[in-house]
Amino acid sequence: MADTLFISDLHLDPARPAITRLFLSFLASLDPAETPGLFILGDLFEAWVGDDDDNADLVPLLNALEDASARGVRIRIMHGNRDFLLGNRFATRTGCELLNEPARIDLYGTPTLLLHGDTLCTDDHEYQAFRRLVRDPAWQADFLARPLAERRAIAAGLRETSRDRTGQKAPEIMDVNQAAVETIMREQGVHQLIHGHTHRPAIHEFELDGRPARRVVLGDWYEQGSLLRCNQSGCRLQSLPVDHSIE
């Protein structure tokens, strides 16, 4: 039975080669006859400073995405909070489609909403203010006009600041707000939501306006590869093992 696949929060980075190897192996294994679609719901990369980035470490990843697309695997990628600058040049290079957020799809007869997930973390006011800043077209234009070396330095500084501030926040502040979940599901007319960002893989069942509803959370790819498989029979979360033996 063919499966539609969902992943997110890979945070691909040269500092974590085992995860890169896992992702390359995963892409190589995809058969378009068995995988009608792959959705990557944000944070494919630890950082993306622009489509003109000439970092040699990116080449195998871009080639692998291009190869999978050329074989007939339809890959759709949503911006995350780390790679929101992925643009049309990246899409053309890899053959992937950039997916606007929120995205509403028909998943085997079930209307389903796709998000990265960070917009649901409404209790984290500091982060939401930062998100509004970096998603502003004027901010992005100014950032992309800077030299590549400067952009890399800024991105590294932002990651360091994010790590420091995350360590100081209560875990519940960084999780989704249930009221925000229910609001956007009502607005979009769905009773199923799939997202990442929080790194807390689970399937949450609840009631929305008198009907059963489901929120599926994808895990990250730090210690394993989190994968959601969906087909006519339903959806199931699984983990792909990481081989650290050759690091």
Please give the DSSP secondary-structure letter assigned to residue 219. Answer: -
Comparing CA positions, the residue from 181, 185, 196, 180 lying closest to residue 228 is: 196
pTM of the model: 0.95
Can you say whether the dihedral through the CA atoms of 47, 192, 65, 84 is positive or negative? Answer: negative
Q: What is the pLDDT along the chain (247 residues), one digit of tens a residue?
A: 789 999 999 999 999 999 999 999 999 999 999 998 999 999 999 999 999 999 999 999 999 999 999 999 999 999 999 999 999 999 999 999 999 999 999 999 999 999 999 999 999 999 999 999 999 999 999 999 999 999 999 999 988 888 877 777 787 788 999 999 999 999 999 999 999 999 999 999 999 999 999 999 999 999 889 999 999 999 999 999 987 665 5
Domains in the chain: ranges and CATH: 4-240 (3.60.21.10)
The arrangement of strands across the sheet holding 225-231 comes to 97-99, 75-78, 37-41, 4-7, 225-231, 234-240
Give the tokens for residue 174: 């960084």
